[in-house]
Amino acid sequence: MDIWLSKLFISWNERSTKQNNAWTALVDGIKSSDSTHHSAVAKETRARLQAIHFLLLAIFISNFPFMVSLESGGYTYRLLNVFFYALAAITFFASFLVFLSAARTARAIREARD
């Protein structure tokens, strides 16, 4: 058990070091080059728009069974409801992940500016 935990700690430490080095490289790249700065701003804007798109799509998908007149009460109707709600949940989660990516990029831009 101790060997397994030590290997886990070492791999977690290596992963953390790689992420810190990548973050430092990203911030330094944004500081040093205007083209990298502009591409980071474009990436952030694209990610925010994509997050809004996924959010609106999830809202549409979750309301789709109500917009389409299906006969209620049947097995197929319940199965379709579960399918659409699961699809909407996945889309909401994708929206959240894309928004986190945009926030991470915005934080790198702010850090490079300071």
Q: What is the DSSP string of 55-73?
A: HHHHHHHHHHHHHS---TT
pLDDT in the model for residue 70:
59
What residues have CB less than 8 Å from 19, skipping those under 6 apart? none
Helix (H, G, I), strand (E, B) or coil at 74: coil
pLDDT in the model for residue 56:
95
Determine if the pTM surpasses 0.85. Answer: no
What residues have CB less than 8 Å from 60, skipping those under 6 apart? none
Digit-coded pLDDT (tens) for 36-79: 999 999 999 999 999 999 999 999 988 887 776 656 667 777 78
**Does 1 score more than 90 pLDDT?**
no
